[in-house]
Amino acid sequence: MAVVLTNGFYILFPIIIIYLCTTFPILDKIGMIIICYGVGLVLGNINILPPDILASQETLCEVCVAISLPLLLFSLDLKQWIHLAGKTILSMALATISIIIVSCFGFLFINDLIKESWKLVGMAVAVYTGGTPNLASIKTALDVDPTVFITFHTYDIVITLFCVIFFITIAQRVCNRFLPRFESRDTMPRDTKTGEADLLHCEGIDSYKGILKFKSILKLAAALVLSGIIVGAALGISQLFPKNYATSITILTITSLGIGCSFIPAIRNIEKTFQLGMYIIMIFCLVVSSMSSFSLLTNLNIPLLSYVGFSVFGSLVLHGIFCKIFKIDTDTFIITSASAICSPPFVPVVAAALGNKTVILSGLTTGIIGYAIGNYLGISIAYIVKSLV
């Protein structure tokens, strides 16, 4: 009974957070994801969770990741992506190249210190290209040891928080010293009549207003069923491959089918699918952070902490150097870095701190593209590093 009640809390608490954040702007500034992480960390360290909850937590995490991935990708509009400013596309590509270079370089120093460290390369590339869903996907796809995953994720939360603080405080002033200043420009085609509406929809990515309307519930229920069908199909397809690769094939198939469905207007135009996906991700964040222990922050795994820190800050610095070479402006650099390192939910917060709502669409779109490619890159780079070693 205690396990059932705990799982009920995991599912219902994000709804309370959504309500509070839409009611109290100060909470919305903190961010729903951060609040879920914080509550989960407290919950996991005050000794009130049932002792036999671990298996249920792991199952709930895996289900959340699998179901949320298609929902996050359904609203992706690749045609609109093509119309984004070239500098934004280039900046995203440079951010991706940066994390691949830095994570692989860092691997050379931890290879003899951490068992199966090649898997960490895949985790780093995936999470700092896309976000938390990708990290969880790679954990499943590469069969990462649960203790290593929880430790990596805990360090990632702390270090990413420092990144967010940097982005919303002094980043713009610092970067303006060596990068060109942002010049206003449209990131949407001028002849697109729905452009303004799409931009507002993207700006309101954390807005759940209207999601409980009857019509919305019906459409989202259909999207949720479709997401479940995709997961089922992916599991079926994975059975055609060797067991060692089955989980990787499952995640990549879910990603591919989710992207494929985004080309169907009837699916892509279902409102609030991204928000529903993010709600499920909030459940995941709450669960996985409650599996963390403050002891991980007091009894540090220095090689792993160093690797996570090096991956984040090293890729950020290298990305900045690339942007200097290719003359990419400060705000584009910051927003694409935020979407890659911190994931799309942080984009509106960072854009508000920059005083530049123009870059919101660019940041959100690059972040969602990151969700799409993160699994491919993470799994591919991990196996390439393994084969080379």
Q: Name residues whose C-beta falls within 8 Å of residue 366's C-beta, 6 or more positions apart in sequence.
A: 84, 88, 89, 91, 92, 335, 336, 339, 340
pLDDT at 35: 85
Residue 269 to residue 229: CA distance in whole angstroms = 19
Q: What's the confidence (pLDDT) of residue 61? A: 81
Q: Cα dist. 170→177, 189, 322 in Å? A: 12, 32, 20
The answer to whether residues 262 and 312 touch, using CB atoms and an 8 Å cutoff, is no
- φ/ψ of residue 104, rounded to 5: -70, -40
Q: If the chain, 389 residues long, is cut into consecutive pieces of 10 residues, what is the mean pLDDT of each piece? A: 87 89 78 82 84 84 84 76 71 94 94 89 92 81 86 86 85 93 58 41 55 83 94 91 73 84 90 86 84 74 93 96 94 92 74 75 76 87 91
> Could you tell me the residue range of the domain that residue 178 belongs to?
2-388
- pLDDT in the model for residue 190: 42
Count of structural domains within the chain: 1
What is the model's pLDDT at position 10? Answer: 92
What is residue 189's predicted lDDT score, i.e. its pLDDT? 42
Does pTM top 0.75 for this prediction? no
pLDDT given at position 123: 93
